[in-house]
Structure 1
Amino acid sequence: MVSCSPVFTEEVQKPVVAGGFYPGDPEVLKNMVDGFLDRAKPEKIEGEIIAVILPHAGYKYSGWVAGYGAKIIKDKKFDTVIIVGLSHRVPFKGLSVLDKDFYQTPLGNVAIDKDISKKIIAYSENISYYELPFRVEHSAEVEIPFLQRVLKDSKIVVILAADFSYESCCLL
């Protein structure tokens, strides 16, 4: 059989640390994240929220803090959330922007904002999609289940940094 129609496949970033840093079972993960969110009682924030900093350790160490940060943005409307993480194991210069269609966690797939990702990559020759760090890195991944529970329709852009030179920090 021969087909002349193009085949389109969606590229999905698979989780690296599900079952380790956080539960791999969807129901257990949902209950754990919701528990952290339920216990969080953050102060009311006046004005527009433009950034939230969350820890990136295993949930048993950092989940309660991440719950506070995530609860601050619960049910807010963001078209795109940019997640910046660091590359613990793979050194490289500049920034690496994930260039896939979805990021998968046990809670499902989150759409990656390909338009914004491509614009960021085009901004500088020191920004690219370097796949290797995404194969082993957890720093951005552990944020995503919290975002899945508090922001229903947001897309994401995932950026990793390993080089903290002045020039690379200015790119952020």
Structure 2
Amino acid sequence: MHAVRQPAVAGAFYPQQGAVLAQDIRTFLAGVPADADTPAATPKAIIVPHAGYIYSGSTAALAYAQLAAVRHSIRRVVLLGPAHRVALRGLALPGDDFLATPLGEIEVDQAAVTQLAKLPQVVVSRSVHAQEHSLEVQLPFLQTVLNDFKLVPLVVGDASPAEVAEVLELLWGGPETLLVISSDLSHFLPYRTARQVDRQTAQAILDLRGPVSHHQACGGTPINGLLLAARQHGLQPHLLGMCNSGDTAGDKDRVVGYAAVAFIQEPSHAH
């Protein structure tokens, strides 16, 4: 009998009906401008937002659209997002064999789970994953843009950038492995202030300059680990787009910021 983590936020953050969900994601992806200023190479890593789709789906699609050329070759996705519900020291795996969405089930990469067992900062916790949305909202996008892949789902709590980078390093792999960091930017600032703060945060990410604080990005901890690893591996970040909830489906008094960033392997580091 295999253990399946059931969706917790279907019907809230995104549609519960599979057909409606699939159509929504196709619409978001189709909305990505064909002439967008996108990097020539496909990303090794992406940062994507994790709000309700009406708020941040269009921004997330900017990054997911970059994966079209590698949909057959990516076999493993290492997905990191911040803990919102349950306090956590380190990084947590769900202890499940599959993660379900209205689009079907995704198999957890048990070989990777075995590898991670030797790291003291990685724990197993069903309760951390049970109601957590930061990973879940990425799954339908991944199911849509990739063919056949296994997942390494990690909720990130209190951890150092080095501890996160060590996890990424262990699972870095080759072109078959994609790293996905799920993070929104600033929370509940007035529209103009948020734009200013988020621009500074985006610039820090583009400069590979951490640490990014939790006030700047709720997924600051996994972002900081990625920035460390990106410097180590010569990845170059490209900002694909940013906005906030005041631009999409919310008022402008208290907004949440979103960005899509792709990290590309620079040719000089490709060997």
Does the pair score TM above 0.5?
yes
User: How far is 1:126 from its partner?
Assistant: 1.9
| One-letter amino acid matched to 1:112 | V
User: C-alpha offsets along residues 78-104 of structure 1, whole Å, 9 cap, x if unaligned?
Assistant: 110111011112111111022321110
Distance 1:162 1:143 in 2: 18
Distance 1:75 1:100 in 2: 30
User: How far is 1:49 from its partner?
Assistant: 1.9
User: C-alpha offsets along residues 13-72 of structure 1, whole Å, 9 cap, x if unaligned?
Assistant: 100100000000101100100000001134342335210111011001000011111110
Q: Secondary structure at the match of 1:43?
A: coil
User: How far is 1:154 from its partner?
Assistant: 1.1
Matched with 1:70 is: 64
The answer as to 2:44 corresponding to 1:47 is: no
Distance 1:167 1:90 in 2: 22
| One-letter amino acid matched to 1:128 | V
User: How far is 1:166 from its partner?
Assistant: 4.5
User: How far is 1:123 from its partner?
Assistant: 2.8
Distance 1:39 1:48 in 2: 19
| One-letter amino acid matched to 2:45 | A
Q: How does 1:100-111 map to 2 (within 5 A)?
A: 100-111=96-107
Q: Secondary structure at the match of 2:153?
A: strand
Q: What is the root-mean-square deviation of aligned Cα atoms in Å?
A: 1.5
Where structure 1 has 5 or more consecutive residues not aligned to the other structure, the ranges are 1-8
| One-letter amino acid matched to 2:96 | K
Question: What TM-score, normalized to structure 1?
Answer: 0.88
Identity percentage of aligned residues: 33
Could you tell me whether the CA contact under 8 Å between 2:49 and 2:60 is conserved in 1?
A: yes
Distance 2:65 2:100 in 1: 21
Instruction: Pick from 16, 19, 34 the counterpart of residue 8 of structure 2.
Output: 16
Do the aligned partners of residues 75 and 149 (structure 1) sit closer, same or farther apart at CA in structure 2, a change above 3 Å counting?
Answer: farther
Q: How does 1:1-172 map to 2 (within 5 A)?
A: 9-41=1-33, 42-76=36-70, 77-120=73-116, 122-166=117-161, 168-172=163-167
Distance 1:40 1:100 in 2: 34
| One-letter amino acid matched to 2:74 | F
Question: What TM-score, normalized to structure 2?
Answer: 0.57
Distance 2:32 2:118 in 1: 38
Distance 1:111 1:169 in 2: 22
Could you tell me whether the CA contact under 8 Å between 1:98 and 1:157 is conserved in 2?
A: no
Where structure 2 has 5 or more consecutive residues not aligned to the other structure, the ranges are 168-271
Matched with 1:3 is: none
Say how many residue pairs are matched. Answer: 163
Could you tell me whether the CA contact under 8 Å between 2:42 and 2:69 is conserved in 1?
A: no
| One-letter amino acid matched to 1:40 | V
Q: Whose relative contact order is higher, 1 or 2, with alpha carbons under 8 Å and at least 6 apart? A: 1
